[in-house]
Structure 1
Amino acid sequence: MNLFYNKHGVGDVLMVTIEPTNEGLEYDVQNDITIIKSDDKIVGFNIFNASKYIQIDSNGSIKVEEKHVNSIQDLLEKNNIDFKLDVDLSPKFVVGYVKEKAKHPDADKLSVCQVDVGTGTLQIVCGAPNVDQNQKVVVAKVGAIMPSGMIIKDAELRGLPSSGMICSMKELDLEGAPNEKGIMVLDDSYTVGTPFFEDER
């Protein structure tokens, strides 16, 4: 689930994205809630007069916290909207460890990596020239919102599933990012599975 709020630009409206899509959208209004559907499946909500119902402390993309989930779920139930929010509140940018790296069978410049993120191993297809086995790296897990606004989703790259992204300094919008292509390689002081950004702790 992703939340976006911009009171000055849009008004007192909280935009709740459950599943990012722009295809065949339908809208159903229930009091202060607009239900957004695609193919009869709920993909999001727009909550009007949002500050009456939900504690919002910032503008732009909002880090989803338990208080937001509980407030939105409560509001849905009060408006007889039968939808259960299933939200992963774990950190989305974590320290990973590349356990294995193999050449993609169908793309010379892609590597297929098995990356330990502390809670399990993710298969991530990576195009960085400097990715290698036994590296500690920054992993953006599925559901992460990149500084560019891109949302990380499960994907398939040249026929192979990929869950997450191994990040470069530039993609993380970090100061001093080099112009050369390549992922950010961490030193041994980092612990696998821990949040990379302090505010995700």
Structure 2
Amino acid sequence: MNVFYNKEGIGDTLIVSLKPVDMENRAVERKGNVARIFDKSNDNTSGYNIFGFSSIQEIDANGQVELNESLVETINSALDNSGFEGNLEFDASPKFVVGFVESKEKHPNADKLNICKVDVGSETLQIVCGAPNVEQGQKVVVAKVGAVMPGGMLIKEANLRGIDSFGMICSAKELALPDAPTEKGILILPDDYQTGNEFKGR
């Protein structure tokens, strides 16, 4: 779950993003001051827009809002009061973690892409990676779905040439690390980094 608020840019609306939706199947259901955005092909909710949010809670933000348990409870109350079921959960787990590349295979539909299975401690993620230096057995930095890169890009579930991808294996440049090399390639960590731990830089 990612939450955005920019009163000057888009008005007094809190945007709650849960998952991507194909624009061709995008539909909206409005109840009171809340709009539910969903996929009409399967009724899966992709997010909510809560209008007039400053009347519920003041937010000092101009872009992505840092989530906490109290804000999620407030969002759930707003959904309940509008007739939607407020069952969103607060996820405090780190979004940049140390991963271990368990396997790598060529993408069947793209010469420069590989399909990697990456252990991130709590689960194994399938990630499509285009870096030329990714290999099985490496320790790497994984930006999980929901992570916001230093450059502002939000990591979402994606489908790359027909293959689902759940996260990104990062380069030093993408992580805005000092002295990052200019050549393309992911950051390879020393073996003493613990799989699943939060990556806090070097």
TM-score bin (small chain) = 0.7 to 0.9
Deviation at 1:45, TM superposition (A): 1.8
Alpha-carbon distance in 2 for matches of 1:82, 1:175: 45
RMSD: 2.8
Q: Which residue of 2 aligns with 1:75?
A: 78
Contact 1:115 1:123 in 2 (8 A): yes
Alpha-carbon distance in 1 for matches of 2:194, 2:61: 30
Q: Which residue of 2 aligns with 1:48?
A: 51
Q: Which residue of 1 aligns with 2:143?
A: 140
Alpha-carbon distance in 1 for matches of 2:120, 2:58: 31
Among all aligned residue pairs of Structure 1 and Structure 2, give the percentage whose two residues are the same amino acid: 50
- Alpha-carbon deviations, 1:2-29, whole Å to 9, x = none? 1111123223221112232333544444
Q: Which residue of 2 aligns with 1:92?
A: 95
Is there any run of 5+ residues in structure 2 with no aligned partner, and where?
Answer: none
Deviation at 1:117, TM superposition (A): 0.5
Deviation at 1:84, TM superposition (A): 3.0
Q: 1:162 to 1:176 in 2, by over 3 A?
A: same
Alpha-carbon distance in 2 for matches of 1:25, 1:154: 17
1:179 to 173, 182, 192: 182
TM-score for both structures, normalised by structure 1: 0.80
Q: 1:57 to 1:137 in 2, by over 3 A?
A: farther
Alignment of 1:155-194 (within 5 A): 155=159, 157-194=160-197
Contact 2:2 2:64 in 1 (8 A): yes
TM-score for both structures, normalised by structure 2: 0.79
Is there any run of 5+ residues in structure 1 with no aligned partner, and where?
Answer: none
Q: Which residue of 1 aligns with 2:155?
A: 151
Alpha-carbon distance in 1 for matches of 2:89, 2:116: 28
The amino acid that maps onto 2:69 is: E
Q: Which residue of 1 aligns with 2:4?
A: 4
